Amino acid sequence: MESYIPVIPLWSMIAIGIVLMALEMLTTTFVLFLFGLAFILIGLVGAFYQFPSGEIQLIWTFAVGLILTLLLAKTLRQRIYAAKPLNLETMQTGESGEVLLTADGDYRVSYKGTTWAIANPHAFALENGQTVIVEALENNKARIRQPENSD
C-alpha cells in the first residue's frame, strides 16, 4: 500500500494534542479537548507500536477522538456547567432594607450593601427612607413587605 502521509512523530502528535486542548478554551464544548486527548494517546501508542502509515495513524486518532466525544462530552458538560445555587450572603432574605428614591423617581431598596429594583412597588405606599423586609431576591429584583410592627 502506498503511503501519502508519513508517520507523524510522537512529539508532533503530543504538540497537536496540546494545541487542540488549548483551543478548547474558545469553544467550551469539550470536542477539541477530547480530540486533543486522542492525539496524545495515539502519539503515546506510536512510541510502542509502529503504524504502517500516517493515514492509519490519523484514522485511529479520529476514531479514538470520536469515541471519546460520544462517550464523555455530555457527561463533562453536565458536571462542569451544572447549575449551582448561589449561596451568597447577599442572596439570603428575611432581613430589613431601606427604600431609596432615585434621581429619576423610581424606588429601590438598599439591602446588604446593594440596591435592588423593587419587584412589587405597588403593593403598598413607599416613602424614601422607609424600612421594609426583603422577602425574596429574584431576577435582580427584591420582593418586599412592610415590617410586622409598622403603623
Render pLDDT for 136-146 as a digit per residue (tens, 0 to 9). Answer: 888 888 899 98
Helix (H) or strand (E) holding 98, with range, is strand 96-101
Question: Closest Cα to residue 77, out of 39, 24, 22, 37?
Answer: 24
The mean pLDDT of 95-117, rounded to a whole number, is 88
What range defines the domain where residue 111 resides? Answer: 89-145
Same domain for 76 and 132: no
What was the pLDDT predicted at 69? Answer: 92
| One domain for residues 51 and 73 | yes
Residue 71 DSSP class: H
Say what the pTM is.
0.54
**How many domains does the chain fold into?**
2
- 146-to-97, 107, 133 alpha-carbon distances in Å: 10, 15, 6
Cβ pair 99, 140 in contact under 8 A: no
pLDDT of res. 151: 53
> What is the reported pLDDT for 90?
53
